[in-house]
Amino acid sequence: MRLKVLLVDDELLARSRLRTLLADCSAPAASVEAEAGNATQAIEWLQRQQFDVALIDIHMPGADGLTLARTLRTLPKPPAIVFVTAHAEHAVQAFELEALDYLTKPVRLERLQQALRKVARLIPSAPAREPALPEEVVIIQERGRTERVPLSEVLYLKAELKYITVRTQARSYLLEASLSEFEAKYPTRFLRIHRNALVARHAVRALEKHDDAQEGEGWAVRLAGIDELLLVSRRQLTAVRELVAG
């Protein structure tokens, strides 16, 4: 974790010292994302981006650090507030404003690190990412060559005698297998539209009237990425209509 820090102090030397101390911090580490010399500049930065913590001086020209802290509390996602000041007498007011910590100058590295650890505890841990599942593939063996074709690229599967044609947008392959195997194994990925064809559900774009030379007038589906139309049997027409209607 690396905390995003906004420094708010009208003294350039004070900001420089804090920047040096922050560079030496670890567990959590911190990086100065922006600096402001007064409350107005700080608000301008906060309107542009989010910070994990604002390190705020109290005595500044214009609105002081306590006034700035009251303004920060009205933001949808305010940063944690840590006051950094040479004046110890404002501590009670600071904690009434729900400041996370109150550091007095000159700031010691150990105290700054302690304050940053408080900030880090407020930030929810990112959920552990589930390991990515391996891409499912069809293994194609042609002319002494073996190729892995991602199943997500398959647009349709069509029975041709003892083989099936595996069609992607780029090309066609021949595979010795049965449509029933694919239909049973991937029911949410493929839909049967004919006794000899399965189509990828995600690829179906339209259902159209079609006059076929052999089967006469009927219906066909149009798939994304290819011009070829695939005939739909009367038996499967309802299922295809439901898919297209979404």
Segment 4-49, tens digit of pLDDT: 999 999 999 999 999 999 999 988 999 999 999 999 999 999 988 9
Say whether both 85 and 187 belong to one domain.
no
Do 112 and 219 belong together in one domain? no
Is the predicted pLDDT of residue 129 greater than 60, yes or no?
no
17, 100: one domain = yes
In this structure, are 103 and 146 located in the same domain?
A: no
Residues 22 and 113 in one domain: yes
Of the residues 122, 154, 170, which one is the last residue of a structural domain? 122
Question: Is 78 part of any domain?
Answer: yes
Q: 195 and 166 in one domain? A: yes
**Has residue 133 been placed in a domain?**
no
| Pair (52, 159) in one structural domain | no
User: pLDDT by residue (tens digit) across 174-216?
Assistant: 999 899 999 999 999 999 999 999 999 999 999 999 887 777 7
Residue 129 resides in a domain: no
Label each residue of 123-190 as H, E or C.
CCCCCCCCCCCCCCEEEEEECCEEEEEEHHHEEEEEEECCEEEEEECCCEEEECCCHHHHHHHCCCCE
- Residues 145 and 87 placed together within one structural domain of the fold: no
Instruction: Give the rounded percent of residues in the chain with a pLDDT score beyond 90.
Output: 70
What pTM was computed for the model? 0.52
Q: What's the CATH number where 39 sits?
A: 3.40.50.2300
Per-residue pLDDT of 53-76, as tens digits, reads 999 999 999 999 999 999 998 888
Residues 197, 115 share a domain = no
Give the number of domains in the chain: 2
- Mean pLDDT over each residue of the chain, to the nearest integer: 90
Judgement on whether residues 12 and 106 belong to the same structural domain of the protein: yes
Residue 209: CATH number of its domain: 2.40.50.1020
49 and 77 inside one domain: yes
- Domain assignment present for 132: no
Q: Domain range holding 40?
A: 2-122
- Domain end call among 74, 95, 122: 122
